[in-house]
Structure 1
Amino acid sequence: MSKKIEDFPVLETERLRLRMIEENDAPSLLKYLSDKDVMQYYGLKPFTEINEALNEISWYQSIYLNKSGIRWGITWKEENEVIGSCGFLNGVSEHCRTDIGYELSKDYWGQGIASEALVAVLEYGFNELELERVQALIEPPNISSMKLVEKHGFIREGLLRNYEYTDGKFDDLYMYALLKRDFK
C-alpha cells in the first residue's frame, strides 16, 4: 500500500500540534531558515528566497511519499504558523533504523518546545513505525543539540570524522543513537 499525503499523521502534545508542512507554510519556513543562528548546524546556508523554502517543503513531502522519512511542522495548538520542524530522514526500513533532525525558530528557543516535539516524534517512531534505532548526527560545537538528545537517552557512540561537506568545508559529526528498549 503506497503512502498518500492525505494519510499524513498529526501528532499532538500538551502544547503543540505537529502536522504536515504545506506550500502555504513557505513564508514561515523562510522566516526561521533565513536566520544564520538557526542554520548554523543545519547543513545548508541560510535561505534568502521563498523558492528555497518551497524546495525544502517539496523535499519533506518526497521523503514521506518514498517512505525514507517524515518531517512534521511544529505549531502551537491554538495557532497554525510553523515555528520549526522535527522528523526522520534517511530511513533504512530493512534495518528498522532512521536519522532524526529538528530545528526551531530562535524566537522559541529555551521553552522546552524542541524537547516536547522530539518525544512525540520518537514515540511515533518506536510505536507506529516499529523503529529499533534512531540516530542523531550532531556537529561537536552544537552543545544545545547534544544536551537535548542526551536528556532523552541518546548515547554518543563515536565521532565521524570529515563526515559531511557543507558550506565549503568538511564537518565532523558525533553519532548519537537511541534504541527502542532504552526509550522511556
Structure 2
Amino acid sequence: MNIDMNAFPTLETKRLRLREIEEKDAASILEYLSDQEVMKHYGLEPFQTLKEVFDEISWYQSTLKQKTGIRWGITLKEEDVVIGSCGFLNIASQHSRSEIGYELHKNYWGKGIASEALDAVIAYGFEQLKLQRIQALIEPPNIASLKLAEKQGFIREGLLRNYEFTCGKFDDMYMYSLLRQDLEL
C-alpha cells in the first residue's frame, strides 16, 4: 500500500472536497456523530462530548500512521465544513484488501453526496492503493447503506451472523465486496 505520509491526499469531485480531518473540525463532527439517527448503524453510541470526537480524530490519525486506514472528511467545495467522513479501515496490504466505511450528516442524506464521495474514495483505493478487493460490512436493517453499496457495484456475499457486539447487542452484518475487475468490465 502506498499511503504518502508526507502529504495527505485531497480528493475533489464535482461538488465535494475530501480532505484530512483536523481537530478544528471537532464541533461540526460532533453535530452529526451525536445524532441518534446517524449513529444507529455506526456501531457506537451517539457521541456526547468533544473529547469523544478528539479520540475519533486521533484514531483516524493512528490508522494513517500505521498504514491500516485513511479517512477523509467530506466537505462541500464552497463550504469548508466537515459533513461526514469516508475512508478505508483494516487495510490488509498482504492481501490487497480493505474495508470501506462512511457516515453523513442527516441534513445531506438523499442528495447523492455519499455516492459521490464513495466514487472518489473507491477510485483512490484501486488506483493509488492498488487494492484488489474493497469490502463493506453493513447491518441488514441499514437499507440506505445496502442500496448505496449495491448502486456502487458491490456484491452481497453473505450474512455474518452475530458478527459484532456493539451498543450492548450482537449485530448480524452483510459482507459486500467490490473487486478491481468488477469495475473493469
How would you bin the TM-score normalised by the shorter chain? over 0.9
Which amino acid is 1:120 matched to? A
Matches within 5 A, 1:134-173: 134-173=134-173
The answer as to whether partners of 2:3 and 2:129 remain within 8 angstroms in 1 is no
Which amino acid is 2:7 matched to? D
Distance 2:114 2:70 in 1: 16
- Aligned equivalent of 1:113: 113
Alpha-carbon offset, residue 163 of structure 1: 0.4
The answer as to whether partners of 1:92 and 1:98 remain within 8 angstroms in 2 is yes
Distance 1:183 1:79 in 2: 31
The answer as to whether partners of 1:3 and 1:67 remain within 8 angstroms in 2 is no
Runs ≥4 residues deviating over 6 A: none
Over the matched positions of the two proteins, sequence identity in percent amounts to: 66
Matches within 5 A, 1:21-170: 21-170=21-170
The answer as to whether partners of 1:3 and 1:65 remain within 8 angstroms in 2 is no
Alpha-carbon displacement from aligned partner over 1:135-156 (angstroms, at most 9, x marks no partner): 0000000000000010011000
Which amino acid is 1:92 matched to? A
Q: Secondary structure in 1 aligned to 2:141?
A: coil
The answer as to whether partners of 2:88 and 2:98 remain within 8 angstroms in 1 is yes
Question: Unaligned stretches of 5+ in structure 1?
Answer: none
Task: Figure out how many residues of one structure are paired with residues of the other and give that number.
Answer: 183
Q: Secondary structure in 2 aligned to 1:178?
A: strand
Alpha-carbon displacement from aligned partner over 1:58-93 (angstroms, at most 9, x marks no partner): 011111111001000000111110000000000100
- Aligned equivalent of 2:16: 16
Question: Unaligned stretches of 5+ in structure 2?
Answer: none
Could you state the TM-score of these two structures normalised by the residue count of structure 1?
Answer: 0.97
Alpha-carbon offset, residue 183 of structure 1: 2.0
Which amino acid is 1:159 matched to? L
Could you state the TM-score of these two structures normalised by the residue count of structure 2?
Answer: 0.97
